Amino acid sequence: MSVETLSEQSEKAYALLKEDAEKIVKLIEVQMTNLTMPQCPLYEEVLDTQMFGLSREIDFAIRLNLVNEDDGKQLLGQLEKQVSSLHEASLDSK
């Protein structure tokens, strides 16, 4: 595989992971706005499941050398910060 092809694949893999992280944020926003309280076990279960799934996707991409380990950790860290901010904002608005 050429370096250019590998680079393209890496960029595509990272973009897909980023899309999945954004989907999680949207899911949490919808759930907090319309469905349940953040203290609800269902909310926590959905969040835990989604975050775990994304972390496994990131680990897989790292093992395939499609994503740099630091970039993967940074993406997951950013998502955790966003979700935490959403949680705090929902508590403040109640």
What is the set of domains in the chain, with CATH numbers?
A: 3-92 (1.10.287.750)
Evaluate if residue 66 carries a pLDDT over 90.
Answer: yes
Residue 61's pLDDT is what? 95
Residue pair 92/38 in contact (Cβ under 8 Å)? The answer is no
Q: What is the pLDDT of residues 2-61, one digit of tens each?
A: 777 878 999 999 999 999 999 999 988 887 777 656 567 777 787 889 999 999 999 999
Q: Please tell me the pTM assigned to this model.
A: 0.81
Q: Is the pLDDT of residue 1 over 70?
A: no
